Structures are given as structure tokens and as C-alpha cells.
Structure 1
């Protein structure tokens, strides 16, 4: 457990403590377990790898209220984590919601990042325009609107031992991307008091006012599973256009859950970019 002010974050670690720090941010509805197939390959390349449970997830603290999950607050958590780890600069990797947070860290605290690696996560400033240009993305994102409803999403997602969430993972990924151990661990996390509401508050806090993120100055690598059922590949191109220095690697057979399906390739790409 790492204390960041009044917040306690649970982390998983691998690799030499004197290696370059790489922080891995998971998305919805996972925990730091999302990186279990990637952490050791990165550590084997001499990197110090840290994967936190984001606030409200896993074994980390569960602050109450939507406002506790504002994007700038989430970004500040990661900078605070790096401070607690004694790292003035670090490489940051984010998938899904972890990627959205990673974009915010790069925008608000560019001096802290050596490299930014994004897995299937849009730059927040581009989403509305991309929905107008690609109406199919509106349909893909309808669940975001549903999550804004009070209490009903918690009831439906939590029913029958979180069946809807378990199916969301297994039916939108390649076979065996998630095993029984993954699902059991996630059910345990989702069952924590207030945990499911905290996860949904990430989406509900999107309605809070914030300044645009703007352009990204940090060297950026975007890894994108082209069979993502939630996020169209056009979002990768739009995100890259917001960067001063970005490259995209497309995984033609991967879905949204790219690090589960192509862990070795993902680890190789991350390590080469961080150490290049």
C-alpha cells in the first residue's frame, strides 16, 4: 500500500528497484491484475514496473462521491504515486480508463513523463468531434449514457454475481483472454462496499467541468486492437493528431483487451519504446 496524502493505493511491483520506472494503469472494470501477463516480461528487460489499483478499485481506497473521480484528480493520484516512489520522471502506460487518465497526466504534468504509451483509449478532447464524424461510435458508447443513471446500473451490473460485467469481458475478447481466476478476482473486487459505484463514478464525473487537455508534448506510442467493439480505430488517429510526436501500432487481430490477448508483443513494444 502506498499513501498519497489521505489516499491509499494498492500496487503490484516487479523488476529491479533501480530500473527505469514504468507505471501501468488499468481500465474499467479491471484492477492491477489487468497487467499480470505483461509485468514480468517488462521486468525481465530491466524495467521497474508498478501497477496500481486506481482509486475505487481493487484493494485501494474507495472515496465517496462523484467529484472524487474528476479527471484532474485521477491524474494527480499518478503524479503523487511517482512522488511516493521517488521518481522525478517515469514512463506511463494506460489502457481504457487508465489510458484516459494517462492522457490527462501527459497534458497536465508533461515534465514528469519520459514516455507515454496508450492502449485503446481516446484523447478526451477528440471524442465529441469523432462521434459527430463517425455516428457508429455513438452506438458503441451508449453504455456511457446508461451509467449516468442513479442506482439502476449498480443493480443491473451487480445482479447474478456480476454476470453482466463478466460477460462484458468474455464476450468482447478473444477466447481464453480471461480465465476463471481473472473473473473470480474481479468479482471479489467489484463486491467491495461502494466499489461498483466508485467504478461508475469515473463515467459520471465526465460531466464535471474541466479545462481541455490540449496537445500532448510527450513522445507517445499508441497500441490499438483493431477489433475493439467499444472504440473505433478512428479514435487512435484522432488521438495521434493531438500529439507532437506520436506513432501508432495496430494489432489487426486484437480486441479492446489487447494486453490480455497479445501480452508478449505488447510488452516488447512498451519496452522498446521506453528504452529507445
Structure 2
């Protein structure tokens, strides 16, 4: 877990995605702390230095939501702003849906509202092709073998070849490789996707004020998903970053900080 800012400042929780860790926020953590927020970026369960529960059921959405609420409770914050990228965004949508009384503001970076995915893939068949890996990850053991082969080459490429040049420096990639190599980590990471097949109730509409930040050159998620997600919100605004990819906070950290801080500081 990484922290920045005054302990008595408004709580801001940052949730990373696949295949990263709290390291994903290193470029914006301190700048947000300098703006007066108490910023906490946890390693989500199974990632980084967090615990690695066994079994697919341990990564169901309800438990991931409970982790976030537990973190806020431990911080003593009755309400907080929540920002999530990729899988962290999926969890953030769910936290806002299930605990709207706790979330002051919601910020989503390139992550679809989970209830919209099936319909959007029917409307936009190209998204089905972009999301092929979610189906592949359902296979037992084989994904872990392929992801770890040749020094985690597939995961390294997933970062380097889908982002703007220079977004990930060699030291950062080496640190991720070290994290992925820890016992049980790859299976835990893939289990997020496997747990998608566990039945759950729809999240429904989001009543929390929401800001959606979207890198328009995302190779994994089409921009139509941002529009569909906003349609699930009572109060949402989309900020589109024309030159940025899925890895928005790495590529345009200054503007991401401006957007998050400005939105989180708004009064109810």
C-alpha cells in the first residue's frame, strides 16, 4: 500500500488494474497528496505485496468491494472519493453502486460499467475481439504458463506495446516482473477474470457524481464503453484524452491530477 498527503485530509482511494499494483499510481500519488488529500493506493488482493487468497471465489466482486469499504473503515473515513483504473475501475463502479452513502465522488479511468458489457459487445462486435483474453483466462493453468513464459514477455508486452513510448521505464517493468514472480500472484490476477462467471445481481444505476476519464487510443476498450457507462449514471461527465491510451495515468499524469483533484474538491 502507498500513501501520501495529510492523514486528516479528505480520503482519496486509488484502485489499480491488471496487471499492475499500487505502483500504477506512482506519478500522481504525491501530487494529489500535495493538494491536501489523504491518498491511499492499496495493492488489491492477490497483487503486489497483498495477501493471496486461494480459489476463484476469493476474487468475486462482492469481496473486492468489501476490501475497499474495510480500508475506508480502517482509515476512519465515513465518506471518501474513489478512483479506479481498469479492474480497479470495475471494483470502483461496484463500490459506488453498493455503498453510495460512502462514496463522495467517483472517478473512472478506462473501465466500463460492468452491466453494459454484454450489450455493448453485441452492438460493437469489435469489442468482443478486443476482449478475447477474458475468455482465454477461463482456461485452467494454461494462461499462467503462457503469461510467465520467457520472463513474463506477454505481460511486459501488454504494457509496452499498448502504451505511448516512454510511459513505462525499464525499472518499473523490472519491478512488475518481480511482483508477478511471487508465489500465487499470476493465478490470483487471472482469478479476477475467472470470478466473472460467478452469478451476481446487476449493479444498476450509479447515483454518485461520476467523472469518467478515457484515453481514446485504448486498444482493449472501445470509446463507446465510456458513453454507455455515463448512460448508467445520474450525474456523469466524460473527459476524453485524444492522444492517450489505456494507460492514461502513466501518459498524462498532470492532467489526470488536475481532473481528479478538481472533481473531488467540489462540494455536494
User: Normalised by the size of structure 2, how large is the TM-score?
Assistant: 0.99
Q: Does 1:24 align with 2:14?
A: yes
Q: Does 1:149 align with 2:136?
A: no
Q: Work out the CA distance in 2 between the residues paired with 1:63 and 1:185.
A: 22
CA RMSD of aligned residues (A): 0.5
Q: Does 1:77 align with 2:67?
A: yes
The count of corresponding residues between Structure 1 and Structure 2 is 266
Q: Does 1:175 align with 2:165?
A: yes
Q: Does 1:159 align with 2:149?
A: yes
CA shift, 1:185, in A, is 1.0
CA shift, 1:255, in A, is 0.2
What does residue 97 of structure 2 align with? 107
Moved more, 38-47 or 110-119: 38-47
What does residue 237 of structure 1 align with? 227
What does residue 183 of structure 2 align with? 193
Q: Work out the CA distance in 2 between the residues paired with 1:231 and 1:26.
A: 16
CA shift, 1:40, in A, is 1.1
What does residue 247 of structure 1 align with? 237
Q: Does 1:43 align with 2:46?
A: no
Q: Work out the CA distance in 2 between the residues paired with 1:23 and 1:185.
A: 22
Q: Work out the CA distance in 2 between the residues paired with 1:171 and 1:95.
A: 18
CA shift, 1:125, in A, is 0.2
How far does the alpha carbon of each residue in 1:177-206 deviate from its partner, in whole angstroms, 9 at most, with x for none? 001111111111101111000000000000
Match of 2:4 among 1, 9, 14: 14
How far does the alpha carbon of each residue in 1:68-121 deviate from its partner, in whole angstroms, 9 at most, with x for none? 000111011000000011111000000000000000000111100000000000
Unaligned runs of 5+ in 1: 1-10
Q: Work out the CA distance in 2 between the residues paired with 1:29 and 1:46.
A: 29
What does residue 218 of structure 2 align with? 228
What does residue 96 of structure 1 align with? 86
Secondary structure class of the residue paired with 1:37: coil
Q: Work out the CA distance in 2 between the residues paired with 1:30 and 1:23.
A: 16
What does residue 253 of structure 2 align with? 263
- After superposing on structure 2, the runs of 4+ consecutive aligned residues of structure 1 that deviate more than 4 Å are none
Unaligned runs of 5+ in 2: none
Q: Work out the CA distance in 1 between the residues paired with 2:196 and 2:177.
A: 25
How far does the alpha carbon of each residue in 1:154-175 deviate from its partner, in whole angstroms, 9 at most, with x for none? 0000011101100110000000
What does residue 4 of structure 1 align with? none
Q: Work out the CA distance in 2 between the residues paired with 1:22 and 1:180.
A: 29
User: Normalised by the size of structure 1, how large is the TM-score?
Assistant: 0.96
